[in-house]
């Protein structure tokens, strides 16, 4: 990186060279952080979570009768060709993600970003249609008011937390619902800001208030604001006294108080700033994308902020990357829905799975560790270790096969109660398959017992299907035979090793 920087340094005059040196140093710091072990680990975890989530959602798609390959191709095609949409979707997510991440660095879980966003956007909307201002001043004022409204709303939860001990997860969540109900009342036909139409919404904004589109059909200035916010939040957290104190409170409130930091004030301020960022997200969207405030306009931008912050590990640049990823998913989902006919709801499923896998990073370290052990064991003593690994893979594949079979049976025209029972058994078989995978992969002795269960399960499913429909289901019988084979092989082998162990 420094190679590309050097020509710039030579071109500039001496006065600014110091500044540029500082910028370069900052740059190097960022690079060092990016290549540091902690960050790369986190990076692998995030990528791993995303990949696992994609695999599981592919399984769900297969189950639902879609072609995951086609879906993913069109998903990525859509994301790549509609870059402006990707960035457009990402910009509010960056801001709400930063909002949640900043609170989290102070040890607070702001899950009410949605409410702060509504309050911020409402305030901006009022300024945007009630008052006329010159062209540049108007949006700036709108944004400022939006930030203040969001900050005030976050600050309220902060005060309750700091001085009354009310847990912020509960209060921000409740405040969120209050904000949604309150703003939708404001613009409803009973509220003061209704435009008189059939829809609960405000009148149109003045043109002067709107943010200009900067690229493509959708992307407005809000994206640049969001980018600036990324750097701003990074600077605030890592380089300022306020950020230091907020982090100290977040990590160890007793030590922070002992060091003379007013933890209550910091908690309230942190939730205030966090709310301000959410408010900014609402403002940029309402005067960038929309031209009036409609009740319930945000379909969960605040909730997605939690997801983004989690995936970005509460690091501002991580948040940026995660928001871009989710923006890409959203932009691509339209193409996916139109061409591959996979409903856009699939995206929500993928997001949920990503968050679940991120929530438990140890799943990935578990997989990595045991794969390594299994690999070593196979290399050392292939005769002993290979059957275990194969059994584990068998367990995993029987999950897919069982679910696939269940789906095939489900679409058959003959749905007798016994067939339903066989579907139920197949689902249970799939669950057992997961357990088989886990136990065999970790060389747990209970694995062989589970193999027996899964063998019987497959057999029962086959019998139930035969009784129910009168036809023979081949897959389950074959799978049952394979499971019995594995069970025999492993039990025999296990006994062999035990005897060997006792002999020595």
Partner 1 sequence: MNWRLINWQSQYRTLAVLASIVIGLIAINFMPVEQQAIAGWLVATTLQMATPLVLAGLGGMYSERGGIVNIGLEGIMLMGAFTGAAVAYYAKDPWLGLLGAVMVGGLFASIHGVACVKYKGNHIVSGTGIILFGTGLSTLLLELVWHQKGQGEPVTNTVPDLMFPALLDHPFLGPAFSVISPIVLFMFIITGVSWFVLFRTPFGLRLRAAGEDPSTLDSAGVSVQWTRFIGVVISGCLAGLGGAYLSIGFGSAFAKEMTSGRGFISLAAMIFGNWTPFGVLAAGLFFGFLISMNYFIQIYFPILLPFANFIAMLPYVLVIIALGLIRKSVPPKAIAIPYEKEKKG
Partner 2 sequence: MSMSMEYVVELENITKTFPGGVQANKDVTLRIQKGEVIGLLGENGAGKSTLMNMLYGLLQPDSGKIIINGEEVNLKSPQDAIVRGVGMVHQHFKLIPVLTVTENVVLGLEPILKKMDVRSIPGGRTIGAVLPIDFGTAAKRITKIGDENGLPVNPNSKIQDLSVGLQQRVEIIKMLYREADILILDEPTSVLTPHEVDELFVTLKEFVKAGKTIILITHKLRESMALCDRICVLRDGALVGTVARDDTSPQDLAQMMVGRPVVFTTEKEPKTPGEVILSVQDLHVLDNRKLEKVKGIDFEVHAGEIFGIAGVQGNGQTELIEALAGLRKPKSGIITVDNIRISGKRPRFVREAKVSHIPEDRHKRGIILPFTIEENIALGNHYRPPFAGGPLNAVLDLDTTHSITENLVEQYSIKLSSTEALASTLSGGNQQKVVVARELSTKPRLVIAAQPTRGLDVGATEYIHEVLIALRDSGVAVLLISAELDEIQNLADRIGVIYDGQIVAVKSPGEATQTELGLLMAGHTDEASEEGVAIS
- Residues at the site binding partner 2, with contacts judged by CB under 8 A: 239-242, 244-245, 247-248, 251-252, 254-262
Pick the closer one to partner 2 by CB: 105 or 138. Answer: 105
Cβ contact 100:274 at 8 Å: yes
Distance, CA of 486 to CA of 292 (rounded, Å): 65
Cβ partners under 8 Å of residue 7, min gap 6: none
Max CA separation in the chain (angstroms): 93
**What minimum distance in Å lies between the beta carbon of 61 and partner 1?**
9
Report if residue 339 touches partner 1, rule: CB under 8 A: no
Report if residue 44 touches partner 1, rule: CB under 8 A: no
Retrieve residue 70's tokens: 């086609």
**What minimum distance in Å lies between the beta carbon of 486 and partner 1?**
24
> 472 — phi, psi (to 5°)?
-95, 135
Distance, CA of 113 to CA of 93 (rounded, Å): 11
Report if residue 310 touches partner 1, rule: CB under 8 A: yes
Rg (CA), the chain: 28
Q: Of these partners, partner 2, partner 1, none, which one is at the site of residue 317 (CB under 5 to 8 Å by kind)?
A: none
**What minimum distance in Å lies between the beta carbon of 349 and partner 1?**
4
156-to-116, 126, 456 alpha-carbon distances in Å:
10, 21, 59
The residue range among 11-19, 167-175, 279-287, 388-396 that interacts with partner 1, by the rule CB under 8 A, is 167-175
**What minimum distance in Å lies between the beta carbon of 107 and partner 2?**
11
**What minimum distance in Å lies between the beta carbon of 171 and partner 2?**
23
x/- track of binding to partner 1 for residues 362-401 (CB under 8 A): xx--x-----------------------------------
The residue range among 130-138, 263-271, 318-326, 361-369 that interacts with partner 1, by the rule CB under 8 A, is 361-369
Pick the closer one to partner 1 by CB: 232 or 300. Answer: 300
Q: Of these partners, partner 1, partner 2, none, which one is at the site of residue 239 (CB under 5 to 8 Å by kind)?
A: partner 2
**What minimum distance in Å lies between the beta carbon of 262 and partner 2?**
7
Retrieve residue 209's tokens: 């208030």
User: Which residue spans within 327-389 are E strands per DSSP?
Assistant: none
Distance, CA of 422 to CA of 458 (rounded, Å): 9
Q: Tokens 């139920």 — which residue?
A: 424
Q: Of these partners, partner 1, partner 2, none, which one is at the site of residue 429 (CB under 5 to 8 Å by kind)?
A: none
Cβ contact 100:110 at 8 Å: yes
**What minimum distance in Å lies between the beta carbon of 257 and partner 2?**
6
DSSP for 202-239?
Answer: PPPPPGGGSPPEEETTTEETHHHHHHHHHHHHHHHHHH
Report if residue 429 touches partner 1, rule: CB under 8 A: no
Retrieve residue 363's tokens: 């799943």
Q: What contacts 24+ positions apart, CB below 8 Å, involve 410-416?
A: 411/65, 412/469, 414/468, 414/469, 416/468, 416/469
Report if residue 303 touches partner 1, rule: CB under 8 A: yes
Pick the closer one to partner 2 by CB: 61 or 261. Answer: 261
Q: Which helix (H) or strand (E) holds 427?
A: helix 417-441
Size of the site for partner 1 (CB under 8 A): 53
Q: Of these partners, partner 2, partner 1, none, which one is at the site of residue 257 (CB under 5 to 8 Å by kind)?
A: partner 2
Distance, CA of 433 to CA of 427 (rounded, Å): 10
Q: Of these partners, partner 2, partner 1, none, which one is at the site of residue 366 (CB under 5 to 8 Å by kind)?
A: partner 1
The residue ranges that bind partner 1 (CB under 8 A) are 60, 64-65, 109, 111, 160, 164-167, 169-171, 173-175, 177-178, 181-182, 184-185, 188, 190, 303, 306-307, 310, 343, 345-363, 366, 415, 417, 420, 431
């Amino acid at each position: 990186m420094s190679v590309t920087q050097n020509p710039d340094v030579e071109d500039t005059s001496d006065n600014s060279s110091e500044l540029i040196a500082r910028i370069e140093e900052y740059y190097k710091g960022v690079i060092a952080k990016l290549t540091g072990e902690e960050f790369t680990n986190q990076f692998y975890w995030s990528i791993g979570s995303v990949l696992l989530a994609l695999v599981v959602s592919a399984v769900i798609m297969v189950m639902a009768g879609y072609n995951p390959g086609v879906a993913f191709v069109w998903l990525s095609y859509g994301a790549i060709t509609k870059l402006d949409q990707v960035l457009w979707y990402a910009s509010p997510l960056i801001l709400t993600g930063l909002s949640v991440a900043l609170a989290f660095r102070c040890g607070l879980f702001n899950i009410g970003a949605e409410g702060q966003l509504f309050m911020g956007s409402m305030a901006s909307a009022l300024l945007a249609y009630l008052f006329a201002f010159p062209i540049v001043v108007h949006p700036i004022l709108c944004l400022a008011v939006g930030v203040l409204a969001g900050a005030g709303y976050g600050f309220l939860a902060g005060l309750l937390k700091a001085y009354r001990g009310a847990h912020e997860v509960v209060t921000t969540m409740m405040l969120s619902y209050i904000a949604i109900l309150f703003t939708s009342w404001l613009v409803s036909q009973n509220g003061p800001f209704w435009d008189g139409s059939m829809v609960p919404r405000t009148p149109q904004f003045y043109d002067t208030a709107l943010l200009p589109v900067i690229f493509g059909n959708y992307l407005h200035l809000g994206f640049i604001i969001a980018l600036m916010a990324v750097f701003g939040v990074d600077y605030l957290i890592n380089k300022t006294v306020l950020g230091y104190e907020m982090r100290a409170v977040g990590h160890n409130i007793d030590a922070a108080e002992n060091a003379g930091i007013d933890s209550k004030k910091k908690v309230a301020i942190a939730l205030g700033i966090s709310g301000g960022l959410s408010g900014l997200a609402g403002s940029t969207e309402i005067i960038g994308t929309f031209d009036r405030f409609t009740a319930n306009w945000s379909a969960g931008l605040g909730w997605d902020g939690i997801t983004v912050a989690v995936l970005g590990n509460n690091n501002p640049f991580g948040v940026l990357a995660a928001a871009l990823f989710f923006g890409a998913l959203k932009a691509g989902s339209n193409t996916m829905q139109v061409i591959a006919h996979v409903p856009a709801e699939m995206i929500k499923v993928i997001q949920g799975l990503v968050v679940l896998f991120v929530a438990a990073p140890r799943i990935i370290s578990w997989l990595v560790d045991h794969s390594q052990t299994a690999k070593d064991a196979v290399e050392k003593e292939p005769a002993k270790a290979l059957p275990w690994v194969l059994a584990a893979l068998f367990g995993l594949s029987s999950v897919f096969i069982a679910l696939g079979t269940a789906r095939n049976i489900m679409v058959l025209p003959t749905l007798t109660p016994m067939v339903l029972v066989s579907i139920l058994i197949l689902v249970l078989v799939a669950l057992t398959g997961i357990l088989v995978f886990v136990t065999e992969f970790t060389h747990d002795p209970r694995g062989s017992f589970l193999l027996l269960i899964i063998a019987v399960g497959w057999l029962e499913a086959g019998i139930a299907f035969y009784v129910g429909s009168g036809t023979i289901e081949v897959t389950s019988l074959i799978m049952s035979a394979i499971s019995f084979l594995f069970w025999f092989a492993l039990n025999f082998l296990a006994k062999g090793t035990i005897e060997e162990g006792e002999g020595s």
